[in-house]
Amino acid sequence: MSQIFHPSTNTLARLSIFGAVFAAAALAFAAGIFARSSVATGVGVAVRQEVPFSHKHHVEGLGLDCRYCHTGVEESSFAGIPPTATCMNCHSQIWVDSPMLEPVRESFRTGDSLEWVRVHDLADFVYFNHSVHVAKGVGCSTCHGQVDEMPLMWKENSLYMEWCLDCHRQPEKFVRPRDEVFNMDWETPPNQLELGRHLVEQYDIENLLSCSTCHR
Amino acid sequence: MTEPQGVLKPDPVIEPGHDYGSITEKIASIVDTGRQPKFWWVGFGIGFALMQLFLVSAVWLLWEGVGVWGINNPVGWGFAIINLVWWIGIGHAGTLISAILLLLRQDWRTSINRFAEAMTLFAVACAGMFPLLHMGRPWFFYWLIPYPNTFGMWPQFRSPLVWDVFAISTYATASALFWFIGLIPDLATLRDRATNRTGKFVYGLLSMGWRGSAVHWYRYEVAYLLLAGLATPLVVSVHTVVSFDFAIGIIPGWHATIFPPYFVAGAIYAGFAMVLTLAIPIRWMYGLHDFITARHLRNMAKVMLATGLIVAYGYSMEAFMAWYSGATYETAMIEHRLFGSFAHIFWALIAVNVVIPQVLWFPQVRRSTAALFCVAMVVNVGMWLERYLIVVTSLSKDFLPSSWGEYAATRWDWATYIGTIGLFLTLMFLFLRVLPLISIFEMRTLVPGGAGKKGGDDE
């Protein structure tokens, strides 16, 4: 029986050696890109909620402080979602007939919580304390982004471990004075490193990098 | 040394009366006539059935968790690591035969290197199953590889377990390449002999356009020699790194500098035992007495005897150092091994790994295939017992009596272990069916008066 491969296929055989190496590298690279894309992380993807609550309207438009609703952010390990009663402080008097707010009124009437879809959901095996981050000068917008410009809430950061470690390894790059924590318009000053080093010392910020800091 | 043969020249590595054509016909026809001896079907059937046992036990393990095994606190390693070390060790003979004996120009390697290399690959495949399954969540195995991951972390480079990943994956890659490069001229022979389109296509694809031109042969020789040079350090390095898994730990009975050389010798010991275990039935099954001669079996027996003595030296040094150092915990560990709850395993080990193989001193034993096969099987068992003893005794009794414990394997431990033997047999029998089990073109060089080298002088 004659040969079934034409001599030109020899070139293909040679190419396949290099091709296999590059194909494997390309696949690994693509996997890395995908893992960091918003498809996998949800960064920048607005999350649909039962009630289309707009932080932009309430914070930028009306000037509410973060802590009016998220009362526990400074004291609690869990930042917290406000109870329906907080909504009703205002909405028992304004937009009382709005159909958009019917789930809020229903929740208030029945006592069943509104079912918000959690946007910032850390993995269960991570210990996280919200209050200590606020106390050490990590601003809201450092992690959550410009929430005052988000009509619907989305994640500004991946919450991947590499992202946590960016700051845990070099907190001086990110911390700000405590009285600027809730300033949504805070911009990193040109002398951030100098200021940061000073704050790290002043607030006694440790580089907590041990596994068991978060994985207890 | 001289065997009582009455001649000064060593036995030939190929029986007289063969020419290029008869060698090719004999070896290639095993593959391309499509007919296998009855024993092949029996062996493959047993292997395939046992492989199903492996699949069942692996699925059950993944479903239920590593708790189905007998591992516990303090014995967290158990069968998984025992079997890993056992299988990895077996692989070493293939690399030694293919690389070191090539560089040392031992032409008797030619008849056995192909299937010994196959054995290496399949043993590494079986070995790889155990750390993967022992992880509990094997789908995250890639966390062991340093890559720019989303944790922003590298693996712990100070851990020998990470060194293991490098050592074993390098070993698997180098062995596979070496095997494949060595197969190319033979794959071309099979391509040229193929009578159907499938064979033509598959062997044609795998032979990568080999035409046997002078340039091809020149490049082949260079590549093969370079790979042999690269593979040579692996014979020593892989089991050295595996021994570090223990020696780096500060547990009594593990933390010893003798571990690397003693493990490497043990690996070659176990490997040659397995090569003999395979060579003797294969030789009988396909009637290959002309190619795998009595001289091959004798040589392998001698390698076993030598490495076995190194292993025995290792055992005695462990005991000696415990006594000589006067270290409390080391002494207690040796006492525990000799007279404690695992004493029966220790004395069984001494019997099968040290005492029985001494029969290899007798030429009559080295000439009897049945006796050699029995000794090889005994050593296979012995090397497994050795790893059992190392892993289990040291972990079960360390420094604090409050953290002592016992270890007993469950039926799923056994099922997984026996299952990998099935995986190994299945792969081995499939290899015999589809690839030439002896290197055809290298055997041709051994024909007296042929283009090849003269007979070796290993005696």
Q: How far is A50 from chain B (nearest CA, A)?
A: 32
The answer to whether B440 and B212 have CB atoms below 8 angstroms apart is no
Please give the residue of chain B at the shortest CA–CA distance from A36.
B150
Other C-beta atoms lying within 10 Å of the C-beta of residue A110: 9
Two tokens, residue B385:
């017992």
Task: Note the pLDDT of residue B12.
Answer: 75
- Cβ of B153 within 8 Å of Cβ of A165? The answer is yes
* In the predicted structure, residue B444 carries a pLDDT above the cut 80: yes
Tell me whether residues A9 and B194 touch, CB distance under 8 A. Answer: no
Q: Residue A79, Cα to own-chain centre: how many angstroms?
A: 13
Q: Which residues of chain A have a CB within 8 Å of the CB of B143?
A: none
Set of chain B residues whose Cβ sits within 8 Å of the Cβ of A158: 150
B208 and A13 within 8 Å at the Cβ level: the answer is: yes
Greatest alpha-carbon pair distance for chain A in Å reads: 92
What is the residue type of B367?
R
Query: What tokens appear for B163 in the block?
Result: 């060194």
Burial A71-95 (b: 16+ CB within 10 A, else e): eebeeeeebeeeebeebbeebeeee
pLDDT (tens digit per residue) in A124-144: 999 999 999 999 999 999 999
pLDDT, tens only, B340-384: 888 999 999 999 999 999 999 999 999 999 999 999 999 999 999
Q: Cα Rg for chain A, rounded, in angstroms?
A: 25
For position B198, which CATH number holds? 1.20.1630.10
Closest Cβ opposite residue A161 in set B152, B195, B209: B152
CA distances from residue A8 to A63, B211, B214, B255 in whole angstroms, order as listed: 73, 13, 19, 58
Phi-psi region of B17 (alpha: psi -120 to 50; beta: other; left: phi over 0): left
Q: Answer whether residue B457 is part of any domain.
A: no
In a domain, B8, yes or no: no
Contact B150 A9 (CB under 8 A): no
Are B204 and A5 in contact (CB < 8 Å)? yes
DSSP A43: B
Token pair, residue B92, equals 């070493």
The distance of A12 to chain B (nearest Cα, Å) reads 9
Chain A residues close to B197, C-beta within 8 Å: 1, 4
Which positions in chain A touch B190 (Cβ < 8 Å)? none
pLDDT in tens, B188-230: 999 999 888 888 999 999 998 898 999 999 999 999 999 999 8
- Record the tokens describing residue B17, joined without a space: 């009366």
Which residues in chain A have Cβ-Cβ distances shorter than 8 Å to B194? 1
Q: Bridge-partner residues for A55, per DSSP?
A: none
Higher-confidence position of B377 and B450 = B377
Closest-approach residue (CA) in chain A for B198: A4
Measured between CB atoms, which of A9, A13, A36 is closest to B150?
Answer: A36
Exposed e or buried b per residue across B227-263, where buried means at least 16 C-beta atoms within 10 angstroms of its C-beta:
bbeebbebbbbbbbbbbbbbbbeebbbbbbeebbbbb
State how far residue B243 is from chain A, nearest Cα, in angstroms.
Answer: 27
pLDDT at B454: 44
**Within a domain: B3:** no
Binary contact (B201, A4; C-beta < 8 A):
yes
Is B320 contained in some domain? yes
CA B230 to chain centre: 18
- Structural domains of chain B, count: 1
Domain containing B135 equals: 20-444
This complex has an ipTM of: 0.80
Asked if the structure places residue B97 within a domain, the reply is: yes
Judged by DSSP in three states, B117 sits in helix
